[in-house]
Amino acid sequence: MHYLLRLLLCAFLLVPPVVAEEREYIYGAELMTPKERNAYRRSLQQAPNDEARGGYRQQHRERIQKRAKQGGKQLDDKGIVRGHGAER
């Protein structure tokens, strides 16, 4: 019995912990297709540094604001569709 417990403990210690992937909320994600969200994430991952990521985020924010305005939607500061025009 003790042998089995030791064996299970060793097996447990050898298995790496499963870590949930941390994802940031994408500004205006509700207005994007899954393909667009994946492309956004990929572009951020491929950016060479924080400055490039910041620039990409700003360009994305401007594109999404334009899209929201064209669609008659309003975004809050976090990029979530709110108020008149929200699809809820």
DSSP annotation of 20 reads P
Spatial CA neighbour of 73 closest among 29, 40, 26, 24: 29
Helix (H, G, I), strand (E, B) or coil at 36: helix
Global pTM reads 0.67
DSSP annotation of 77 reads T
Spatial CA neighbour of 57 closest among 40, 75, 74: 40
* Residue 6: predicted pLDDT: 73
Q: Write the pLDDT tens digit of every residue in 3-51.
A: 766 766 666 666 665 554 566 789 999 999 999 999 999 999 999 999 9
